[in-house]
A and B are shown apart, each in its own frame.
Chain A
Amino acid sequence: MTDFEFPPSIDSRPVYGKLETRPGHAHLFIADAEGAAAILDFAAANADIMANSHIIYIPKDCGEKYVAQLEALNASQLYVGPSYPAAMSRINHVLATAHMGIQLYLAGTEGLMSETRTTATNAGVSLDSIQLEHRGSLSRRMQCVHCKGITENVITDPYVCSHCGLNLFVRDHYSERLGVFQGVRVDAEDHGNVPDAVELYK
């Protein structure tokens, strides 16, 4: 699955579009897994800006599936790395030396886009310079509202907090500042009464 239409929800829930070309001399793409397909679709229509583009890609379980095609785009820089933490120092360096006018194109999972967007806005990028296109897994980046610990790649509701071990209800309530969805104890009223975990959007 590369494309998924999220059902309507509360205003707090992020919505995603299609990557579109914007004016400027610097274009930064950050994608994970199936997000590579969004970059390929974009590049097919906007080959001219690849010479001013830097692509940072974390394949995850897609492995080599898109790597050769990304290489063929002839971006000015292409980095393919094993994980987001491994790419962090590069992303921070690119943002620290960037100038006004840079365009950010984020594609792939909600977790990747959320974390990158927070990193970018903390570096001074304004939200209207950042585009998001969802592709691939429906897993989420969740924060436990009780212990504040963040659990990545949550795909079931409820889920168990990887920090404090509480059973948490997956909400659409999203913090733009932190780049996380909020997880709230599902058995707060009746300890131990935990519904069966169901895969998100199944």
Chain B
Amino acid sequence: MSAGAEKISVTVSEKVVLNDLVTRFQFKRTDGGSFPAFSGGAHTVIEMKDGDMTRLNPYSLMSNPLLPDVYEISIRRDEDGRGGSKFMHDKVNVGDEMVLSYPVNLFSLDLRARKQLMIAGGIGITPFIAQIKQMSLLGGNFELHYSVRTKSLGSYVDELMDQHPNNVHIYHDDQEERIELEQLLSGQPLGTHVYVCGPKGMIDWVRSTAQSLGWPESSIHFEEFLAPQSGKPFSATLSKSNVTVEVGEHESLLEAIERAGVDAPYLCRGGACGQCETRVLEHDGEIKHHDHWLEDEERACGDKIMPCVSRFEGKTLVLDR
């Protein structure tokens, strides 16, 4: 048995450049079958074999959840990232074979809500595209507020405005258009749930504004995939496996563990799902927590780490793995 969700072999069936930053990829199953249906907000983890290096990056599915003949994702090019998006943009082409994971949803709609209020920033639009397709077929009341940098970088704005002109509101940063958040959140009817996906600053802004206006926690939903950050190289000892791994500058601890042949659990690879939580048996130095899974008290204890995004600086780190 291997860690993570089950895998599907796929062939790249379409590659569409949407604008200077974003490219859409479509996949079909290599065996010709249908994909598993999913719920809007789900992501898949893509295996990227780039020379000797294997990256496993999560992307939100944005194809129709109820007609799973194809899976589609949209990837924003990140020049300063660790290279996953550049690999997909520059090296992956129609006809290439790749491996995707089964879908996992950490950002699903609460179907008890009377109204779904969606707030997106930039590439954070992708989970909402699938959710809106789902609601178009199954019904439901939604309103989307989507902030983009410029008109030309507004991925999917035209389709959304064509199909849902009364439900979609677009804000252009370069024209000084801003979401009037306090006013927006203050005027929502009872039973509304708010969802936010976008840059960290936007997620923090929506969460804290909603909390200060008295919104209950159960009605506030957010998704932020953290890409693993680069940092100083360090070594970690895996006590059960009896090996020591060297974590490179642009590698995550989880990737280094996997490279050593140790099968470690994961799902989201973005610090959100909690699946990879690992006990720290010993450490002499500082654990650099980057996840948003552990509570502050747990971090203070120093006996847990999320190896998908967190790092370490110091002399020794011993993990229960």
Q: Do A and B bind each other?
A: yes
CB distance from B291 to the nearest CB of A (A): 24
CB distance from B244 to the nearest CB of A (A): 46
B189 partner residues in chain A, CB cutoff 8 A: 99-100, 124
B134 CB within 8 Å of chain A: no
Specify the chain B residue showing the minimal Cβ separation from A130: B216
Question: Are B214 and A124 neighbours in the complex by a CB distance under 8 Å?
Answer: no
Question: Are B187 and A99 neighbours in the complex by a CB distance under 8 Å?
Answer: yes
Contacts A124-B114, A124-B190 given; does A100 touch B211 at CB 8 Å: no
Chain A: interface size category: 10 to 19
Contacts A100-B185, A101-B185, A124-B114 given; does A95 touch B190 at CB 8 Å: yes
B9 CB within 8 Å of chain A: no
> What 0/1 readout, one digit per residue, does chain A (94-110) give for beta carbons within 8 Å of chain B?
01001111110000000
Residue in A23, A100, A129 whose CB lies within 8 Å of B188: A100
Question: Are A124 and B191 neighbours in the complex by a CB distance under 8 Å?
Answer: yes
Question: Are A101 and B186 neighbours in the complex by a CB distance under 8 Å?
Answer: yes
Question: Are B213 and A101 neighbours in the complex by a CB distance under 8 Å?
Answer: yes
A24 CB within 8 Å of chain B: yes
CB distance from B116 to the nearest CB of A (A): 12
CB distance from B189 to the nearest CB of A (A): 7
Q: Roughly how many angstroms separate A124 CA and B188 CA in the complex, as a whole number?
A: 11
- Residues of A8-32 at the interface with B, using a CB-CB cut-off of 8 Å, are 22-26
Chain B: interface size category: 10 to 19
A interface secondary structure, majority: loop
> What 0/1 readout, one digit per residue, does chain B (26-53) give for beta carbons within 8 Å of chain A?
0000000000000000000000000000
Contacts A99-B187, A101-B185, A125-B190 given; does A25 touch B218 at CB 8 Å: no
Question: Are B213 and A102 neighbours in the complex by a CB distance under 8 Å?
Answer: no
Contacts A100-B185, A102-B190 given; does A126 touch B213 at CB 8 Å: no
Question: Are B192 and A100 neighbours in the complex by a CB distance under 8 Å?
Answer: yes
A196 CB within 8 Å of chain B: no
CB distance from A111 to the nearest CB of B (A): 23
Contacts A100-B185, A101-B185 given; does A123 touch B190 at CB 8 Å: yes
B186 partner residues in chain A, CB cutoff 8 A: 25, 99-101
Residue in B114, B214, B217 whose CB lies within 8 Å of A25: B214
> What 0/1 readout, one digit per residue, does chain A (65-103) give for beta carbons within 8 Å of chain B?
000000000000000000000000000000100111111
Residue in B114, B214, B217, B218 whose CB lies within 8 Å of A101: B214
CB distance from B183 to the nearest CB of A (A): 11
B215 CB within 8 Å of chain A: yes
Question: Are B215 and A101 neighbours in the complex by a CB distance under 8 Å?
Answer: yes
Q: Roughly how many angstroms separate A22 CA and B214 CA in the complex, as a whole number?
A: 7
B214 partner residues in chain A, CB cutoff 8 A: 22-26, 100-103, 129
User: Can you report 21 residue pairs joining A to B where beta carbons are below 8 Å apart?
Assistant: A22-B214, A23-B213, A23-B214, A24-B214, A25-B186, A25-B214, A98-B190, A99-B186, A99-B189, A100-B185, A100-B186, A100-B188, A100-B189, A100-B215, A101-B185, A101-B213, A102-B190, A124-B192, A125-B191, A126-B191, A126-B219
Excluding A100-B185, A102-B190, 12 further A-B contacts by CB distance (< 8 Å) are A23-B211, A25-B213, A95-B190, A100-B188, A100-B189, A100-B215, A101-B186, A101-B213, A103-B214, A124-B190, A124-B191, A128-B218
Closest 10 CB pairs of A and B: A24-B214, A124-B191, A124-B190, A101-B214, A128-B216, A100-B188, A101-B213, A129-B216, A126-B216, A23-B214
Q: Spell out A's residues near B (CB within 8 Å).
A: 22-26, 95, 98-103, 123-129
